[in-house]
Structure 1
């Protein structure tokens, strides 16, 4: 029988062990769970189980608290950090998709700034934009 894969999100620590690893009192972990700062998974018996990710997040909460942030400020910082991480992942996905699309299209298009007002124009590969010979004099 194969053992299940474990990673940093696998809930393995009971509240006492997680509190010791985070160097906090178990009651503090319960409070953070109630207000949503760190939400451990629950067993069938409804006991909290913390992952390594949860412990790292608890340490981050302690660090921010030590720097003088309120619990609401900490919640907002953690929320924004999660959002940034999600957006960075999405950017990587889109970059991969764009790279694949470029490689799969033999008749790739080229885009350039148009001569009239900076609009974007599509060109066939190898074509050039007509350049304007207008002279513009600027006076302060």
Structure 2
């Protein structure tokens, strides 16, 4: 598998990308117009496809052969991109949490406070119960 920075590097002209994806170059142009696969532009005009773009083109070809409509394919790609973004966010948050735990000395415990707020507690400590005062309103 390619490193992340090389995976999105624009390397291939349209004819090479079309050959790698086993498609006609005009099909790639159509997919670009539809927003299914959007290559980078060199000099504002010439399309340059990355290895990631070629992977997506192959996936589009496979889904199309299985009978999925182009709109369905667009939605699948959109959802896959969203999942990748969310996975990256989760990885980032996990890293930040590991870093915070490493610097704190002991793990922190979170609980819901008496008013629905999130509170930090020491291990073994319980949140204070909410006051149970009775309030009578007269109108």
- Bin for the TM-score computed over the shorter chain: 0.7 to 0.9
| Unaligned segments of structure 2, at least 5 residues | 128-139
8 A contact 1:15–1:48 mirrored in 2: yes
Give the deviation of 1:45 after TM superposition.
5.5
Give the deviation of 1:112 after TM superposition.
5.7
Does residue 19 in structure 1 map to residue 18 in structure 2? yes
Cα gap change, 1:128 to 1:22, in 2 (>3 Å): same
CA root-mean-square deviation: 2.7
Give deviations 1:109-135, integer Å, cap 9, x for gaps. Answer: 434689x9xx97754335468xxxxxx
Report the equivalent of 2:136. Answer: none
Give deviations 1:28-87, integer Å, cap 9, x for gaps. Answer: 011001100011111116111111111111001001111111111100100000000110
Counterparts of 1:57-136 in structure 2 under 5 Å?
57-106=56-105, 108-111=107-110, 122-127=120-125
SS of match in other structure, 1:7: helix
Cα gap change, 1:46 to 1:107, in 2 (>3 Å): same
Equivalences, count: 123
- Structure 1 segments, 4+ long, off by >3 Å, are 106-109, 111-114, 119-123, 125-129
Cα gap change, 1:45 to 1:109, in 2 (>3 Å): closer
Question: What TM-score do you get using the length of structure 2 for normalisation?
Answer: 0.75
Give the deviation of 1:103 after TM superposition.
1.9
Cα gap change, 1:15 to 1:123, in 2 (>3 Å): closer
Cα gap change, 1:125 to 1:50, in 2 (>3 Å): same
Cα gap change, 1:49 to 1:126, in 2 (>3 Å): same
Alpha-carbon separation, structure 2, partners of 1:82 and 1:45: 25
SS of match in other structure, 1:33: helix
